[in-house]
Structure 1
Amino acid sequence: MARKAPRRTAERIAEVSLALFNRYGEPNVSTTLISSELNISPGNLYYHFASKDVLVNHLYDRFESRMLPLLEAASDVKDIEDSWFFMHSLFEQVWSCRFLYRDLNNLLARNLHLERRLGWVLERKVQAFRVMLQSLAARGVLHLDTGSNETLSTSMNVLLSYWLSYEYVRDPRHALEPEHGSAALERGARHVLLLLLPHLTSPHDRQHLLRLTGAYSGDMHHTG
């Protein structure tokens, strides 16, 4: 069997950096640490990424390229089951690049590229939720009063975008470790989806949503 070619150095740098940023937070990871982890010289790292911000931007651009097609699928959400899948998929993307959400304010304060792109993606998320809610309302799944769509789509986006910050504050030493990812995602998805509950038109859909969200945590009484 032919041996697999080694991954290109730039790809290895990106993958290792992402893991380090996600685990320790971007401000706590230096290029020296990244080089040491990869067993390469700092010069080799800088050959591929001229600065840590360039590396961060590369990771962000890759994240955005995966998030945008998912947001464009919002119009395909037709029922509660679709909503569950859509929400969980969004949270999985957020988790995959969670350092962006954990260190959001710090990154925005110094990185013009992120300042421009993250604000735009934030609005795209709101727009995707608007489309999702409109799709559900058009099929009679939801009843939305005038103005409810805007309020609800914004609230859903706030929870999606800041849920991991909440998890981190609750348990800074463990919340964003890989082994806690599944539980954190499920709690976040549960809380976002439960915003739909007062707007559902069918008792069957309300019960189905409660079953789905109850299955996330195994305990509907746990709200944190």
Structure 2
Amino acid sequence: MVKKAPRRTAERILEVSLDLFNKFGEPNVSTTLISGALGISPGNLYYHYPAKDELVNALFDRYEAELRPLLLDAITVNDLEGSWQLLQRLFEMNWSHRFLFRDLNDLLSKNRHLETHFQQIQIDLTGALTSLLQRLRAGNVLHMDASQVSTTASNLMVLLCYWFSYVYVQAPRLAASTEQGKLDSARGTHQALSLLAPWLEADDRLLLQELSLGEHCGPLQATTS
């Protein structure tokens, strides 16, 4: 049996940091906690990432690198089912990097790299969503006025950025569950596409309902356990 090559320390640091940031929030995770979880010395951690901001920036850059190809794929989507798949992938990607959105205001206030790059991501993603809505409108899937496209794209953007903060309030003790994350991503997709319902034909509204049922989207339920 061929032994797998050990993962590089820098990559292991990123993976563990992402997991801890997602579970506890970036402000609540120290470099000491990260090095302890990895079983390495703080000095070894600092060798790869001299400051916590550099860890955050590396994770953000990895998120951005994963997002860019998805935005390119978005230009091929021209129907409701493709829109569902695109948005679900976006929600799932945001869930896997949810610390960025959970602590967004705090991160932007102290990190110039995130401030500038996150603005550009929002611009590019809103542009992709606007283009998607325009194609759905041109294909007679959406029967909305041209003036409504920009507002609806902005509403979709807001949902993508803040959906997981909303569902965290509903069930904070389930927030770290991968299964819950998949379900919340599907619910976010349903919530986003529901914004389009007033401009859909009856058949497409039915298709939206079928897609939701296929992903087992149910109502959000708060938990007190």
TM-score, with length taken from structure 2: 0.93
Structure 1 stretch 170-179 or stretch 98-107: which is displaced more? 170-179
Which structure 2 residue ranges, 5 or more long, are not aligned? none
The reply on whether 1:207 has 2:173 as its aligned counterpart is: no
Q: Distance in 2 between matches of 1:99 and 1:84?
A: 24
Structure 2 partner of 1:30: 30
CA contact (8 A) 2:170 2:220 kept: no
Q: Structure 1, residues 95-152: CA drift from partner, whole Å, max 9, x if none?
A: 1111101111111111110011111111111111101111111211112213110010
CA contact (8 A) 1:71 1:125 kept: yes
Q: Structure 1, residues 63-111: CA drift from partner, whole Å, max 9, x if none?
A: 0011121122222112111011011111111011111011111111111
The reply on whether 1:94 has 2:94 as its aligned counterpart is: yes
In structure 2, the CA distance between the partners of 1:47 and 1:218, relative to structure 1 (3 Å rule), is closer
The reply on whether 1:179 has 2:179 as its aligned counterpart is: yes
Q: Distance in 2 between matches of 1:164 and 1:217?
A: 18
Count, aligned residues: 221
Over the matched positions of the two proteins, sequence identity in percent amounts to 50
| 1:65 counterpart letter in structure 2 | A
CA contact (8 A) 1:175 1:184 kept: no
Structure 2 partner of 1:110: 110
CA contact (8 A) 2:187 2:217 kept: no
The structural deviation recorded for 1:218 is 4.7
Structure 1 partner of 2:215: 216
Q: Distance in 2 between matches of 1:189 and 1:109?
A: 29
Q: Structure 1, residues 36-66: CA drift from partner, whole Å, max 9, x if none?
A: 0111000000000010000100000000011
Aligned residues: CA RMSD: 1.4
Q: Distance in 2 between matches of 1:100 and 1:165?
A: 11
The structural deviation recorded for 1:184 is 1.0
| 2:202 counterpart letter in structure 1 | P
Q: Distance in 2 between matches of 1:189 and 1:181?
A: 12
Which structure 1 residue ranges, 5 or more long, are not aligned? none
Structure 2 partner of 1:10: 10
Structure 2 partner of 1:42: 42
Superposition pairs for residues 153-172 of structure 1, below 5 Å?
Answer: 153-172=153-172
Structure 1 partner of 2:133: 133
CA contact (8 A) 1:168 1:176 kept: no
SS in 2 for 1:47: helix
